[in-house]
């Protein structure tokens, strides 16, 4: 059974940093593109970043470029999101999500999602 | 960046009725790379449709997707009580990303 379990969320002050983790199981993690998607309270979904199977390609939404870094450790079946210079508008539930097919050249949609971890940026 | 606009914002229908949800793109979506998701309160999104018209594994056949280019539709043929939720479309045709979502349509019980 595919499982994605996020952790690392919490309350942080503006300008602070946080590192989110996503533990994957039930599939060959190293074969899939992986993404982070967020949802501000009461709002819609926003794709944040994704990373290729071997980490060689990474893409970000403009609003987080230069502040967030996506990474992965295939030996640990884990995905990460390092978030620096956090702003109030980064407050959201952050979901880890999997691409549907292994070994794809390009990322696509998401077939499995974690339950999310809440990040609150406030003083 | 491709902007997706969903309509209506809220749709009020009764169980057994037919629901038609629209997703319009600001420019053509390459190869009909459009997906639909369902989200219930407190839950993660659930994949319904990919490639504009292919149902994901385990999705009932009352859900269907259609469209191409800039206009896409999600149809629920006969609403069940568990279908009342928020629905999002997402395009994944732009290269490189971003892979944008629509703002969502809330399907509520009338």
**Does residue A110 belong to the interface with chain B, where contact is any CB pair within 8 Å?**
yes
User: Residue B94's pLDDT is what?
Assistant: 80
Tell me, yes or no, if A115 comes closer than 8 A to chain B by beta carbon: yes
pLDDT score recorded for residue B51: 95
Chain B residues touching residue A115 (CB < 8 angstroms): 43-44
| Token reading at B72 | 């896409």
Per run of 10 residues, the mean pLDDT along chain A (length 123 residues) is 97 98 97 97 96 96 97 98 98 97 90 98 96
B88 in reach of chain A (CB within 8 A): yes
Q: How far is A42 from chain B (nearest CA, A)?
A: 10
Residue B93: per-residue pLDDT: 85
pLDDT higher than threshold 90 for residue B31: no
pLDDT of residue B45 exceeding 90: yes
Number of CB pairs, chain A paired with chain B, less than 8 A apart:
58
Cβ <8 Å between A109 and B90: yes
Q: Read off the pLDDT of each residue in B9-24 and give the average, rounded to a whole number.
A: 97
Q: Which residues contact B57 (CB under 8 A, 6 or more apart)?
A: none
The CA distances from residue A76 to A24, A117, B39, B99, in Å, are: 9, 19, 30, 27
């Amino acid at each position: 059974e595919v499982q994605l379990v996020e952790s690392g969320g919490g309350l942080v002050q503006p300008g602070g940093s946080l590192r989110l983790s996503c533990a994957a199981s039930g599939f060959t993690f190293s074969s899939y593109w992986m993404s982070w998607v967020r949802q501000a309270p009461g709002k819609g979904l926003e794709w944040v970043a994704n990373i290729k199977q071997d980490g060689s390609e990474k893409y970000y939404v403009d609003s987080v470029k230069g502040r967030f870094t996506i990474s992965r450790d295939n030996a640990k079946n884990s995905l990460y999101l390092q978030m620096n210079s956090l702003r109030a508008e980064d407050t959201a539930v952050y979901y880890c999500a999997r691409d549907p097919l292994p070994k794809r050249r390009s990322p696509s949609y998401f077939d499995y999602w974690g339950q999310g971890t809440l990040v609150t940026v406030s003083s | 960046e491709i902007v997706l606009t969903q309509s209506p914002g809220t749709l009020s229908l009764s169980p057994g009725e037919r629901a038609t949800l629209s997703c319009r793109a600001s420019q053509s979506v390459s190869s009909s790379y459009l997906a639909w998701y369902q989200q219930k309160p407190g839950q993660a999104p659930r994949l319904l449709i990919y490639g504009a018209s292919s149902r994901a594994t385990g999705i009932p056949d009352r859900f269907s997707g259609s469209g191409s280019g800039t206009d896409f539709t999600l149809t629920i043929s006969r609403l069940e009580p568990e279908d009342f939720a928020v629905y999002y479309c997402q395009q994944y045709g732009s290269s490189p990303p971003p892979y944008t979502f629509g703002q969502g349509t809330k399907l509520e019980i009338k």
